Chains A and B, each alone.
Chain A
Amino acid sequence: MRKELVKFAVVMLWAFGLLFPMLGAQIGFETFTFEWSRLVRVMGFVAVAYGALAAQRAVSAHRKRGHRDPGPGLAERVPPLWGWGILAAVALAFPWFADNYARDVAINVLIYVALGLGLNIVVGLAGLLDLGYIAFYAVGAYTYALLNTHFGVPFWLALPIGCVISAGAGAFIGYPTLKMRGDYLAIVTLGFGEIIRIVLNNWDRVTEGPNGILGIKAPGLYYPKLTEAGLTLGHVYLKNLTCLYYIALVIAVVTIIGVYRLDHSRVGRAWVSIREDETAAELTGIDTLRMKLLAYMLGAIFAGLAGAFYAAKVRYVNPSSFVFLESALVLCIVVLGGMGSIPGIILAAAAIIVLPEVFRDLELYRMLAFGGAMTLMMVYRPEGLIPARRRRLELHAREAFAEEEGNA
């Protein structure tokens, strides 16, 4: 009992320190005021939350005599085909039931689905921690922006060009980092991500610097038209959000299929093997350098795709859209969703983009709530929302083993 009380005191003290800036302390001219009522309310809430947690822990410890089954994940409960069918129907019908604001948010979700899945190749499958991923998104966006404003290249032609240039950037950045592992790799990718942003910011003559590039055209659509001169091609710009939504949907679906196919290919297995043990992978005949480079390039391609679309949708790009925070956000999506898990990443992208919109009223505390949610996730569900099967095995190896033994 005494031990419990000491623990409680420590938690309260810690929470007080953590939350102090929010407790209404104000410093004025030779005065220091403090809102005691707020302090009492907040600390009271912490105490109750802690009590509830402790009680729950006690109960579960008491119950733990038996085998605790973590239960099937969301992915296993929904029959996959059904699940995908419903999801597809909802996604297709969505813009007809939504207002422009919701469509805009949905388009963002789809962009982040593509980004999350692209980064998943690098981080989730190949196990290379990349903190500068957003740089490739920037490359895709600027490629389309420059090609379109200077040379009038249409969106659909710029899309493959953007992919190629992003892949090139992936190889360019990936190549010098191939021999690095772990922390060093993370630092170098972080550096490269910043280099690209800073170049965009300072290369005035090409990128217009911090002013950004204006006047980018939306994706166009050609259609046959009968006029007095005979059959000609008509052309419209798809500026309305419903059309853009469907384009984003196509990009997201292409990414989903692409990443799924990669995950289940020889290359995917090679990546997993590299993630597990690089030397062992090498000794089973995997060309580790080439496979890692391939992971970077393919990851970059999907980011480039998303980036070009982003530029076409917003019709304006500037470097402040490609800051480190964006890389971190995409990484959060991958980790939150469950590394290597496609449905998990889709769900996480939706959560991370939609939740801040929902909590707009709490604007000030948004990042706080976000950080809190991430912390809770890592404590209670480190394998992500919908873990990849392989990954779930990894983190619950002991339970899986116990099960296996039980069956034997």
Chain B
Amino acid sequence: MLKVEEIHTYYDHIHALKGVSLEIREGEIVCLIGSNGAGKSTTLMTISGVLHPARGRVLFDGQDIAHRPADRIVGLGICQVPEGRRILPRLSVADNLEMGAFLRRDREGIRQDLEKVYELFPVLAERRRQQGGTLSGGEQQMLAIGRALMGRPRLLLLDEPSLGLAPIVVEKIFGIIQQINRDGTTILLVEQNANLALGVSDRAYVLETGRVTLSGPSRELAHDERVRKAYLGEQ
């Protein structure tokens, strides 16, 4: 479904991605783990078209989308839940969700998806008139995921959904992520919490200073000695 081939992305003169390649097949949950500054978010932003690679290709259904603008990529069905959630704090929950469907014109479909999101996150329905910024961290994360779902994505990119949340909330959110996947959405998940990410994903890539250093089925990586030492906190 998505194939990233040898992308190099720069921030001005900083060479952030030095030839990253990955592949995501329809229906999978793939996770990208790595420490701070490894290039995980940069990879997602490059796929989303907020950043553009200097070299390399991003193939979605076989088309190269590496140089398309971000709004066109959303239109193709790749939606991102950005790191730090980035909800619109001064708009209501309902308005935030509606913004997620900005590109869509099918009113009926939007209404149905809104209902689905409220079903998935009942707390958002309760708070639909409240300002986004007044929600708790976990609720904001749910709102951010809900907003991305309103774009009816085929591929959902999640950047650090566990960031700054209590373990019990994280557990709940990861449960929902798995459910979204079961309902037919392919997921690329970026996480610092490797334990968690390897637990829910089918396959994983390990990113270190802008390069993929390891990849394979999550279950195998979870038992890999290097991964256990570097990311799972084993001595």
Contacts and interface: CB of A to CB of B under 8 A. Distances in A.
Interface string A246-276: 0000000000000000000010011011001
Nearest to B82: A283
B131 interface: yes
Contacts, number: 77
B71 interface: yes
Interface string B96-119: 001110110000000000000000
Contacts of A289: 69
Nearest to B81: A283
Contacts of A280: 82, 86-88
Interface residues on A, range: 20 to 34
Contacts of B48: 283
A284 B82 CA distance: 10
Given A279-B82, A397-B133, A404-B130, A286 B102 contact: yes
User: At the interface, is chain A mostly helix, strand, loop or mixed?
Assistant: helix
Contacts of A281: 99
Nearest to A266: B102
B50 A282 contact: yes
Contacts of B151: 284-285
B133 A273 contact: no
B74 A283 contact: yes
B75 interface: yes
Nearest to A289: B69
A276 B132 CA distance: 11
B90 interface: yes
A393 interface: yes
Contact of A285 (B75, B95, B98, B133): B75
B109 to A, nearest CB: 15
B71 A286 contact: yes
Interface in A51-65: none
A289 B69 CA distance: 10
A397 B134 contact: yes
B99 A269 contact: yes
6 contacts: A277-B88, A283-B86, A284-B79, A284-B102, A285-B74, A390-B90
Interface of A: 266, 269-270, 272-273, 276-277, 279-289, 390, 393-394, 397, 400-401, 404
Given A279-B86, A284-B102, 20 more contacts: A272-B88, A273-B99, A273-B102, A276-B90, A277-B88, A279-B50, A280-B82, A280-B86, A282-B50, A283-B82, A283-B86, A284-B99, A284-B103, A284-B147, A285-B70, A397-B90, A397-B131, A400-B134, A401-B131, A404-B129
